[in-house]
Amino acid sequence: MSALLELDGVSAGYGPFRALFDVSLTVPDGTAVALLGSNGSGKSTVARVATGLVPVSRGRIRFDGRDVTGWPAWRLARLGVAHAPEGRSVFASLTVEENLLLTFRAALGRGGVPDALARAYAAFPRLGERRKQSAGTLSGGEQRMLSLAKVLANPPRLLVVDELSLGLAPVVVDEVFRTLQLVRDNGTALLVVDQHVGRALALADHVVLLSKGQVVHHGPAGELGDLAEKLMPGAPV
Ligand SMILES: Nc1ncnc2c1ncn2[C@@H]1O[C@H](COP(=O)(O)OP(=O)(O)OP(=O)(O)O)[C@@H](O)[C@H]1O
Ligand SMILES: [Mg+2]
């Protein structure tokens, strides 16, 4: 399968601080890649580089075969690259249903709205129960469900997920991962950073392990279970 996203010898950082050193990785089209590593190893920086939020100082970024090095986030977004939870933004003053209607109308046209609403509420019954509530008063987990429901309606080609399940109750984490699986099954490629290593590995086809800003392992997800536990003992699964 061809590479959808390719980082080739990428270095990047913040001001004089270098966070990534010669990072190369690929996300094949339609697959999920788990990006693992201890705190501060550079996972979020990779997520930001991949979505145009942090510029690279060396190396190339390719998307769907095109060199997109130096492209700003909005331009990558047009190609179908989405970043969550940055993409989590919901309209706080609108209700849950108004948020969904806005997205669904724009993405699918009026005719597609009833079906899309039904699918969103089937995937997230909680959103159905709270359809009249203003989105700004939803809990953090519910807001993430709402943003994922929007993603489901208008699937990006690549969804970069950085700690989307952070601080959520286990049952909500389950829902988030079920939805990510759904997003993937719909053909969206995923680059997933999550402290729930076991769940991320269960979702992933490939895994990339970062240490101190460098890739120290890149391979099929199945091989890594024990190694992940050794590198990140006690991490929630
Ligand atoms: N905005 C910033 N300005 C300066 N340094 C930063 C900035 N963001 C991250 N860093 C530094 O870059 C390095 C990599 O950070 P990054 O956030 O990518 O790590 P991470 O693997 O996502 O960590 P965590 O698991 O804690 O989220 C760290 O040393 C961090 O302190
Ligand atoms: Mg991070």
pLDDT tens per residue across span 187-228: 999 999 999 999 999 999 999 999 999 999 999 987 765 665
* Cβ neighbours of 131 (radius 10 Å): 15
**Cα 188 to ligand 1 centroid, rounded to whole Å:** 26
Q: What pLDDT was estimated at residue 153? A: 77
Residues lying with their CB under 5 A of ligand 2, a single-atom ion: 44
For residue 226, the model assigns a pLDDT of: 61
- Block residue for tokens 């509420």: 121
Give residue-wise pLDDT tens across range 116-146.
899 889 888 889 999 999 999 998 888 888 9
Distance 9 CA to ligand 1 centre (A): 19
* 169 CB-near residues (< 8 Å, 6+ apart): 141
- The partner residues of 33 in beta bridges, in order of sequence, read 191, 206
Separation in Å, CA 6 to CA 63, 68, 101, 178: 6, 10, 34, 26
Q: How far is the CA of 164 from the centre of ligand 1 (A)?
A: 16
Among 141, 146, 151, which Cα is nearest to 97's?
146
d(CA 44, CA 66): 23
35 lines ligand 1 (CB under 6 A): no
17 bridge partner residues = 14
Phi, psi of 116 (to 5 degrees): -65, -40
CATH of segment(s) 12-88+155-231: 3.40.50.300
| Predicted model pTM | 0.88
Structural domain boundaries in the chain: 12-88+155-231
Give the chain's radius of gyration (CA, Å): 18
CB 168 within 8 A of CB 198: no
Amino acid sitting at position 82: A
Is the CB of residue 59 below 6 angstroms from any atom belonging to ligand 1? Answer: no
- pLDDT higher than threshold 60 for residue 237: no
Count Cβ atoms below 10 Å from residue 191 Cβ, excluding itself.
29
pLDDT in tens, 53-89: 999 999 999 999 999 999 999 899 889 999 886 555 6
Give the per-residue pLDDT at 119. Answer: 87
HSE toward the beta carbon, residue 200, CA cutoff 13 A: 30
Rounded mean pLDDT, 23-27: 98
- Hey, whose CA ends up nearest to atom 26 of ligand 1? 39
What pLDDT score does 114 carry?
Answer: 93
Cα separation, 197 vs 219, whole angstroms: 15
Please name the amino acid found at residue 10. V
